[in-house]
Amino acid sequence: MVSKMQLHAVGEACPGYSYIGGDDLSSLDEGKEPVSCENCIHWVRGRCDIDLFDEVLSSLDQT
């Protein structure tokens, strides 16, 4: 199972991350959700629909 910490780390590093609320990341003001796979347009039913999650997570594990 994927942890919240992993979802956040992958979201931060993912080249395909696109905030579900629009392209403007400045809309992520204080009090709103931090960058995470869970608020990416590509996170569908608990998985990345463009298959980047595992690749990005693996690259984070090597750094």
pLDDT at 12: 97
Number of domains in the chain: 1
Mean pLDDT by 10 residues, the chain (63 residues): 95 96 57 87 97 96 66
pLDDT at 33: 77
pLDDT at 23: 56
Q: What is the largest CA-CA distance in the chain?
A: 32
pLDDT at 22: 67
| pTM, rounded to two decimals | 0.80
pLDDT at 63: 52
Kindly write down the DSSP assignment for every residue of the chain, as one continuous string. Answer: ---HHHHHHHHHH-TT--BTT-S-GGG--TTSPPS-GGGBTTEETTEETTS-HHHHHHHHHT-
How far apart are the C-alpha atoms of 53 and 14, rounded to whole Å?
8
Q: Which domain holds residue 47?
A: 4-24+33-61
pLDDT at 30: 54
